[in-house]
Structure 1
Amino acid sequence: MPISACIITFNEADRIGDCLASLAFCDEIVVVDSHSTDATRAIAESLGARVIARPFDGFRSQKQFAIEQATHDWVLCLDADERVSAELRAAIEAERAGGFTTAAGYRFARLSEYFGKFLRHGNAYPDRVLRLFDRRRGGWRGTREVHEAASVEGEVRTIRGDLIHYPYRSLEQQLAKTQRYARMMAEHDFARGKRATLGKLVFAPSWRFWRGYVLRGGFLDGWHGLVYAYVRANYVRQKTVMLWLLQNGRPL
């Protein structure tokens, strides 16, 4: 069964090469690029990818467009900061050898690197994601353009192996990224009629921290786990404050 790998990019020249190298077992690689100003497109094309330029109109929409351009119905979706590990590749190839007859889609754990250490506890891991599926039975659905997730009609199986994730180049980049995501989520929730409360303003960030750092064992990752838990709690605070401002008619 052939597989099309689908990736969306924007200024990923420093990371796209490793991502594509981990997808060498796929039969096709489709890259949808949001008009990068660096060498992303040239690098991807030099490594055999079919590159399509398209203005960015949301993470979900861009990923759905990418799978619609694929030649094959079984698609493997990655971000440029992700790589397929050797164990995960073996698991995917085993399912492919069997004709993908056991499920309509497959999920697997995502292992994130955080300032020199892979996080294996807390809210960071196993962070299972559905990324390999039959596009005839699913896709990137819904209206939410941030924190998007694929879904399929039919059984979803979990397979072994990790999707290696290098999400942040620096703390500054992480903070800027989480603020952008917080705004997008606040605007999405506001449009859907969701509202913040004083209770959520006070307790939601604290709960996110204690759930990840204490209840899910984030403290086992040392100072890396502590910083990660703090920054993720701050994301919840930003999102809730922005929603509060929107519902009270204040500009962000």
Structure 2
Amino acid sequence: MHASSTHRPAVSACIIAFNEADRIGDCLASLAFCDEIVVVDSFSGDRTVEIAQAAGARVLQRPFEGYRSQKQYAVEQARHDWVLCLDADERVGDELRASILRVRDEGFPSAAGYRFARLSDYFGRFLRHGNAYPDRVLRLFDRRRGGWRGTREVHEAASVDGPVAVLAGDLIHYPYRSLEQQLAKTQRYARMMAEHEFARGKRATLAKLILSPAWRFWRGYILRAGFLDGWHGLVYAYVRANYVRQKAIMLWLLEHRQPIATPTASHDARD
């Protein structure tokens, strides 16, 4: 990691992790240009902590209470006000790293935060169309003017008070180890989102149950040209449409006071 300079703002990289021994090494290597790396681990049972410490990261352990709150905790533990937030399955691409270094050396002019595209690998192919890309995310920001705010713990997003600029380059994303993992993750997210929306007073309708999944598929696969990603784009569009279907069904069941999940202590602090 680079030593802090008096001529430019220092940057802390913030990562949350749980059982990421197979992926966190590459993530940390892509953050070597940062002045500090903070990893908040939710008591991994593999070598995640050992690998992170060997890479020079400062590792803190905290029980997992939700994606948003875990990320905000990591931001609060950073030594520097400018933070770059990643998940353990993400890496900073070469072009994005150059963009970050440029604006950092310029003192992060006229922006409270920076957004950039996220490029996801999907079973051996990077998806460059459909709902998967550019999937711009706000991950580099001044924590004095923003953070991981709100109450929603899933599909969390950082926000800032002030202008947001867009940087060239991609955040490289390796979200799924297998289809089974993706299906389990989307079902868990559907449940969390349904519970969040129900608590806020939202309700499912027959139209939403029937039409929303179809719209998600056609919007991504046809209107946004997901078909250009070949069979990978087709499978991705189907799985994402099924997520919308699951969420609508769970919201419907909650409204009718039916159980949608059995208690479990497992979690995956991924993206």
Using the size of structure 1 for normalisation, the TM-score is 1.00
SS in 2 for 1:32: strand
C-alpha separation in 2, matches of 1:34 and 1:185? 22
SS in 2 for 1:76: strand
| Letter matched to residue 45 of structure 1 | Q
Specify which of 173, 187, 190 is matched with residue 198 of structure 2.
190
SS in 2 for 1:193: coil
Counterpart of 1:25 in structure 2 is 33
| Letter matched to residue 153 of structure 2 | E
C-alpha separation in 2, matches of 1:143 and 1:214? 34
Structure 1 ranges of 4+ moved more than 3 A? none
C-alpha separation in 2, matches of 1:231 and 1:148? 20
Counterpart of 1:203 in structure 2 is 211
Counterpart of 2:148 in structure 1 is 140
After superposition, residues 1-252 of structure 1 pair within 5 angstroms as: 1-252=9-260
State percent identity of aligned pairs: 79
SS in 1 for 2:13: strand
SS in 2 for 1:14: coil
C-alpha separation in 1, matches of 2:47 and 2:64? 18
| Letter matched to residue 80 of structure 1 | A
C-alpha separation in 2, matches of 1:247 and 1:237? 16
C-alpha separation in 1, matches of 2:109 and 2:167? 14
| Letter matched to residue 92 of structure 2 | V
SS in 1 for 2:193: helix
| Letter matched to residue 179 of structure 1 | Q
Q: 1:23 deviation in Å?
A: 0.1
| Letter matched to residue 152 of structure 2 | R
C-alpha separation in 2, matches of 1:97 and 1:50? 24
SS in 1 for 2:121: strand
| Letter matched to residue 62 of structure 2 | R
Q: 1:102 deviation in Å?
A: 2.4
SS in 1 for 2:91: strand
Using the size of structure 2 for normalisation, the TM-score is 0.93
C-alpha separation in 2, matches of 1:212 and 1:57? 32
C-alpha separation in 2, matches of 1:10 and 1:75? 20
Counterpart of 2:263 in structure 1 is none
Q: Deviations over 1:126-167 (max 9, x none)?
A: 000000000000000000000000000000000100000000
| Letter matched to residue 148 of structure 2 | W
The unaligned stretches of length 5 or more in structure 1 are none
Count of residue pairs the alignment pairs up: 252
C-alpha separation in 2, matches of 1:237 and 1:72? 42
SS in 2 for 1:214: helix
Q: Deviations over 1:111-137 (max 9, x none)?
A: 000000000000000000000000000
C-alpha separation in 1, matches of 2:76 and 2:154? 19
Q: Deviations over 1:62-113 (max 9, x none)?
A: 0000000000000000000000001000000000000112200000000000
> CA RMSD of the aligned region, Å?
0.4
